[in-house]
Amino acid sequence: MSLLVVGSLALDTIETPFGKAERTLGGSATFISVAASYFTQPVRLVGVVGGDFPKKELEYFEEREIDLEGLQIVEDGKTFHWHGKYDYDLNNRESITTELNVFADFDPIIPDTFRKSRYLCLGNINPELQKKVYLQMENPKLIVADTMNFWISGKKEALIDVLQHINVFILNDSEARELSKEANLFKAAKKIQSYGPKIVIIKKGEHGALLFYEDELFSAPAYPLESIYDPTGAGDSFAGGFIGYIAKTDDISFENMKRAVIFGSTIASFCVEKFSLDGTRDLSHLVIKDRFNEFTRFSAFEPAEL
Amino acid sequence: MSLLVVGSLALDTIETPFGKAERTLGGSATFISVAASYFTQPVRLVGVVGGDFPKKELEYFEEREIDLEGLQIVEDGKTFHWHGKYDYDLNNRESITTELNVFADFDPIIPDTFRKSRYLCLGNINPELQKKVYLQMENPKLIVADTMNFWISGKKEALIDVLQHINVFILNDSEARELSKEANLFKAAKKIQSYGPKIVIIKKGEHGALLFYEDELFSAPAYPLESIYDPTGAGDSFAGGFIGYIAKTDDISFENMKRAVIFGSTIASFCVEKFSLDGTRDLSHLVIKDRFNEFTRFSAFEPAEL
């Protein structure tokens, strides 16, 4: 089924203790749409880039059958640029430069042909822009939104407004605690559900993810990665794998959403194994499926008698 | 099958933000043997108490069919006393008093009738005492040992010596990092396996537990507790539920050990819901089985196609 992805496209410079990548493809919409493209077509992209955005990357999107009709190209502008540096344990990052450039004036206009998309994934952008997007949609079946601590502390009211209109909210554990003011994640999730979304997914990095689906709970394990090279885009890749599988199957039941969480975790695990988009740029159904099956092996156990 | 438990018996005074319990039954051997007694008989206990140890608690052990032949009662001595205070998030605790009393001179003598026990669980005590115990055993099928950060920093050499002689080592995430000097838990587990035990279980509190069984991995979810009243004894209860189920089934395969980890997690989740031993003192097979089944619901997902 059709999936619309809205978010940022960026040229990132990333430093980790293991290396550096300069002006490499990044942004929430990039990671989400690439991840989703392994599951469903068409993936429709709405975002903005400058004239400096590499042509070969536009061609790459097209190869992955990502529909660029909604991509605004400001020829005399520069693409959003972020320069981040991770410390040794990769949990903390410092933003060395954030140049919004053409993204500063981004007005997400949804092409008429995109407005009937059945699934909508709102990448991590200003919640006021997220609202602008869903107001243009014509009765989508499911809206998924991601966010980050920057909006929780800086645009909380706008974010709470967005939460009343979406179905699935994805955030990480520290964001969940900050937004809900609850240390306990199970309490935090219930409180966030009370703000609107019936479905809340809390990502816990090396500890996996929790899916709260109305009153139900699913606890997904983490993939046992011994080394993480670059965490950039892991959360977006999770969201993309998740919504991509949902859109492919057009099934929003709890049972199916569990599988979608595992596919999201799968794509995120590939993402962090290499720099930037290199981890997810060129996957195959075979390696995705194999890793999904590994998750089954890590978490399955048989019934027992007492 | 027969199970021998060796560890401390204590009278604890515990303060949490939710209340206080004075001179209540505690100690690693207490929590382990009570937890194990729901699964297997006989559970044989070796430890030491003073003349102040309440008679009704000895009767309680006997009701639970815990064999006290190896319990040393020093009539003119006082039982090990610990007074601990937990801060609001329950992750940090302060030891206000630690009076070793009769435990200071504890010499774990294993009665002849206990030496052929098929399973041995070494509770968290000085690793030099743990060694004294297994040297007295006659070819046990499986030895499980627990520890704590106090021994990792204070008796590391003795602990490494113990690790060469046991089969299953249980510790929590911060202890695993401290012992292995590895931040990544998957690397930490491999390093600890290289010290001796083929099987390592890392407890992660609210994030569940990881079972490393030779080259295999099982990731167990945490029970979704919204409130924890007292974490005292949770790790011991985990160990007791784990080894109790293994001893009951006499099956040390990976598949069965996964179930044992879930039973360990089950008993630990009951433990923290009330003060001290109150959470596990009076369980039934029915509530244990129900909660085991809940763990299945939280972690099971169906295969998927791409």
Q: CATH number, domain at A232? A: 3.40.1190.20
Using CA atoms, how far residue B171 sits from B36, B78, B144, B151, B256, in Å, is: 18, 29, 11, 12, 20
At B24, is the secondary structure helix, strand, or coil?
strand
The Cα–Cα gap between B223 and A176 comes to: 19
At B306, is the secondary structure helix, strand, or coil?
coil
Task: Show which of residues 120-149 on chain B sit within 8 Å of chain A, judged by CB atoms.
Answer: none
Judging contacts by C-beta atoms under 8 Å, the chain A residues touching residue B306 are 38-39, 285, 288-289, 292
Specify if A304 maps to a domain: no
Distance from CA of B229 to the nearest CA of A (A): 13
Task: Show which of residues 49-108 on chain B sit within 8 Å of chain A, judged by CB atoms.
Answer: 89
Q: For residue B4, give every residue at least 6 positions away whose Cβ sits within 8 Å of its Cβ, in sequence order, or none.
A: B44, B46, B70, B110, B114, B117, B119, B120, B121, B137, B140
Judging contacts by C-beta atoms under 8 Å, the chain B residues touching residue A221 are 219, 221, 299
Q: Which residue has the higher pLDDT, B18 or B301?
A: B301
Please state the pTM of the whole predicted model. Answer: 0.95
pLDDT at position A262 is: 98
Judging contacts by C-beta atoms under 8 Å, the chain A residues touching residue B186 are 224-226
Of the given ranges (A11-25, A105-119, B65-79, B161-175), which has the lowest mean pLDDT? A11-25
Per residue of chain A (306 residues), what is the pLDDT tens digit? 999 999 999 999 999 888 899 999 999 999 999 999 999 999 999 999 999 999 999 999 999 999 999 999 999 999 999 999 998 777 778 899 999 999 999 999 999 999 999 999 999 999 999 999 999 999 999 999 999 989 999 999 999 999 999 999 999 999 999 999 999 999 999 999 999 999 999 999 999 999 999 999 999 999 999 988 899 999 999 999 999 999 999 999 999 999 999 999 999 999 999 999 999 999 999 999 999 999 999 999 999 998
Distance from CA of A20 to the nearest CA of B (A): 22
Using CA atoms, how far residue A15 sits from A87, A94, A269, in Å, is: 9, 10, 19
CB B132 within 8 A of CB B162: no
Supply A117's token pair.
């998309």
Supply A302's token pair.
């048989």
| Packing angle of the helix pair A254-271, A285-299 (nearest 10 deg) | 110
Residue type, A241: G
pLDDT at position B25 is: 96
Please state, as a whole number, how many other Cβ atoms lie within 10 Å of the Cβ of residue A286: 9
ipTM for the complex shown: 0.92
Q: Taking CA B80 as the corner, what is the angle to CA B77 and CA B85, rounded to the nearest 5 degrees?
A: 145
Query: Which of B218, B296, B298 has its CB closest to that of A298?
Result: B218
Residue B144's DSSP bridge partners are B121, B168
Specify if A184 maps to a domain: yes
How many residues make up chain A in this entry? 306
User: Testing the interface with B: which of A249, A291, A299 to mutate, by most B Cβ within 10 A?
Assistant: A299
The Cα–Cα gap between B145 and B166 comes to: 7
Half-sphere exposure of residue A142, counting CA atoms within 13 Å on the CB side? 23
Judging contacts by C-beta atoms under 8 Å, the chain B residues touching residue A296 are 301, 303
Which residues span the domain enclosing A116?
3-299
| B303 interfacial to chain A (CB closer than 8 Å) | yes
**Residue in the block written with tokens 């690397």:** B187
At A265, is the secondary structure helix, strand, or coil?
helix
Query: Which of A185, A261, A303 has its CB closest to that of B206?
Result: A185
pLDDT at position B282 is: 97
Question: H/E/C letters for each residue in B143-181?
Answer: EEEECCHHHHHHCHHHHHHHHCCCCEEEEEHHHHHHHHC
How many residues make up chain B in this entry? 306
User: Testing the interface with B: which of A173, A286, A306 to mutate, by most B Cβ within 10 A?
Assistant: A306
pLDDT at position B107 is: 97
The Cα–Cα gap between B193 and B155 comes to: 19
Using CA atoms, how far residue B231 sits from B35, B89, B204, B228, in Å, is: 15, 11, 13, 7
Chain mean pLDDT for chain B: 96
Q: For residue B30, give every residue at least 6 positions away whose Cβ sits within 8 Å of its Cβ, in sequence order, or none.
A: B7, B8, B9, B10, B233, B236, B277
Query: Which of A38, A185, A262 has its CB closest to that of B301?
Result: A262
pLDDT at position B93 is: 84
pLDDT at position A208 is: 96
Judging contacts by C-beta atoms under 8 Å, the chain B residues touching residue A299 are 218-219, 221, 299-301
CB B131 within 8 A of CB B158: yes
Binned at pLDDT 50, 70 and 90, residue B19 comes out as confident
Of the given ranges (A247-251, B14-18, B166-170), which has the lowest mean pLDDT? B14-18
Strand intervals (E) in chain B: 3-6, 10-16, 19-26, 43-50, 66-74, 80-86, 93-99, 119-122, 142-146, 168-172, 199-203, 209-213, 216-220
Half-sphere exposure of residue A246, counting CA atoms within 13 Å on the CB side? 27
The Cα–Cα gap between A281 and A63 comes to: 11
pLDDT at position B121 is: 98
Binned at pLDDT 50, 70 and 90, residue B138 comes out as very high
Characterize the bridge pairing of strands B80-86 and B66-74: unpaired
Mean pLDDT along residues B18-23: 90
Specify if A286 maps to a domain: yes
Q: What does the DSSP assignment read for A74-118?
A: ETTS--EEEEEEE-TTSS-EEEEEEE-GGGGG---PPPGGGTT-S
Total count of domains within chain B: 1
B84 pLDDT higher than 80: yes
Residue B83's DSSP bridge partners are B13, B97
Q: For residue B269, give every residue at least 6 positions away whose Cβ sits within 8 Å of its Cβ, in sequence order, or none.
A: B222, B223, B225, B291
Interval B100-116: pLDDT, tens: 999 999 999 999 999 99
Interval B205-264: pLDDT, tens: 999 999 999 999 999 999 999 988 899 999 999 999 999 999 999 999 999 999 999 999
| Packing angle of the helix pair A254-271, A28-37 (nearest 10 deg) | 120
Judging contacts by C-beta atoms under 8 Å, the chain A residues touching residue B225 are 184, 186
| A242 interfacial to chain B (CB closer than 8 Å) | no
The Cα–Cα gap between A270 and A284 comes to: 11
Specify if A305 maps to a domain: no
Supply B162's token pair.
């113990």
| Packing angle of the helix pair B156-163, B127-135 (nearest 10 deg) | 30
Q: Do A296 and B303 touch (CB under 8 A)?
A: yes
Q: Taking CA B253 as the corner, what is the angle to CA B296 and CA B172, rounded to the nearest 5 degrees?
A: 65
R_g of chain A, CA atoms, integer Å:
18
In 3D space, the residue among B108, B134, B137, B132 whose CA is nearest the CA of residue B47 turns out to be: B108
At A223, is the secondary structure helix, strand, or coil?
coil
The Cα–Cα gap between A5 and A130 comes to: 11
Residue A202's DSSP bridge partners are A171, A210
Please state, as a whole number, how many other Cβ atoms lie within 10 Å of the Cβ of residue B157: 9
Judging contacts by C-beta atoms under 8 Å, the chain B residues touching residue A186 are 224-226
